[in-house]
Amino acid sequence: MAEQSLPVVDEGASAKESPSSREGISRRALLGTAGATGLVLGAAGGAVGYASAPAAATPLTSVGSDEVMFHGKHQPGITEGLQARGHLVAFDLAAGAGRKEAAALLRRWSQTARRLMAGETSGSDDTDVARDAGPSSLTVTFGFGHSFFARTGLEKQRPVALDPLPDFSSDQLDKARSNGDLWVQIGADDALVAFHALRAIQKDAGSAAKVRWQMNGFNRTPGATAHPMTARNLMGQLDGTRNPKPGEPDFDQRIFVPESGTPAWMANGSYAVVRRIRMLLDDWEKLSLGSQEAVIGRRKANGAALSGGTETTAMDLEKTDAKGNLAVPINAHARITRPDQNGGAAILRRPFSYHDGIDADGVPDAGLLFVCWQTDPLRGFVPLQRKLDRGDALSQYIRHESSGLFAVPGGAAEGEYVGQGLLEG
């Protein structure tokens, strides 16, 4: 939809096995035991016999075996491709909890995230929800909200870039589902793996923090299309055509805080803007195909700009049709969000779609869990959103219902936890 911004079970386990005896065992290692005792099912699902001897373990599919490293220069869940399932959750520190409790919590969370992302159990109290699965590209990402710093006595370490976002005319924000002391983003290519991680993170919070809000999202499953392509959103549009790409000369400059950045604990980190954007799908779907394309400024079928070419062809903003009208309307979403029309402002979009049911009138509560990354939201998201606020044709078909801004520190080195530079600095 946007160029850069849419303002818009283990059957072989013994009954006597204690939970602690499984601690540290890779979920993938457990897969090899299933064929020894389970029913062998035919194509129609019927039991055709029993395995008389241990069978060789069946390799995980590519989706299950894919693994993202927890430790690294940057946190996971930023530059990786879109994941099929996601959970966004914000926590507030409990009354009386401060810097010490926050440090212990981030240490627990980091240890759990490392284990789960490696395809291991979460610990001695693992729920077994993901027992049969591999890592499935699981990522867990942690961030700090504006309020976290006062709660922990670290106001002097709060980045200027974390100042609250300004009000926008399209905002209809629910404060109870916005912001928060701590933010966690979970993504995976398997829904059970993602849910397993969500429960583990919630349980690890213990008495130190409580959930403020939580949202669930999804994307197309990897391999569902004949070839890799830009994802579609719930409006049916290709969404993220002009996303910055790792390897581009200015990618790190646009997305990550430099090594010499301020404050020092944010080096190699990024800032995440999170917006729950409801799509007014009934209104949108009443539009003709041509009208939908005029709102976006791109062909629905292939993402090509209305000025011609393919999805990746540069948009010709001056091209006119036979009647002398601009091929890409002046208020088209794709035109307004072009970086060269916004002083180079750019963000890395990494959203999830969501659907939270249908109300009594038959209206779907559905849309986009918009997550974007940038070095500084005052130079990334804010100028883009301000311009969209002044005349984006898409604005009448969407509604911003919640918002959050989080400082996401760089990745944790081996033996460290996320945020250690802040909490122990």
Check: CB of residue 101 under 8 Å from CB of residue 208. Answer: yes
Give phi and psi for 410, each to the nearest 5: -60, 175
Check: CB of residue 5 under 8 Å from CB of residue 373. Answer: no
How far is 369 from 382, CA to CA, in rounded Å?
17
Q: Where are the extended beta strands (E) located within 154-231?
A: 182-188, 209-218
How far, in whole angstroms, is CA 287 from its chain's centroid? 29
Longest CA–CA separation in the chain, Å: 79
Q: Which amino acid is at 149?
A: F
Give phi and psi for 392, each to the nearest 5: -70, 125
Check: CB of residue 380 under 8 Å from CB of residue 256. Answer: no
How far is 256 from 266, CA to CA, in rounded Å?
9
Check: CB of residue 264 under 8 Å from CB of residue 387. Answer: no
Give, as one character, the DSSP assignment of residue 95: T
Token digits for 3?
A: 């160029």
Cα distances (angstroms) measured from residue 358 to each of 150, 179, 270, 281 = 39, 26, 35, 12
The H-or-E segment that residue 255 falls in is: helix 251-255
How far is 183 from 353, CA to CA, in rounded Å?
18
Token digits for 183?
A: 């933010």
- Nearest to residue 300, comparing CAs of 314, 316, 287? 287
Of 92, 181, 239, 389, which one is the catalytic site residue? 239
The residues pairing with 232 across neighbouring beta strands, listed in sequence order, are 238
Tell me if residue 128 is catalytic. Answer: no
Cα angle, residue 422 at apex, residues 420 and 425 outer, rounded to 5°: 85
How far is 366 from 277, CA to CA, in rounded Å?
8
How far, in whole angstroms, is CA 148 from its chain's centroid? 21
Q: How many helices (H) and strands (E) does the chain have?
A: 12, 11
Cα distances (angstroms) measured from residue 192 to each of 3, 131, 211, 279, 350 = 32, 10, 20, 27, 21
How far is 319 from 308, CA to CA, in rounded Å?
9
Q: Which residues are catalytic?
A: 239
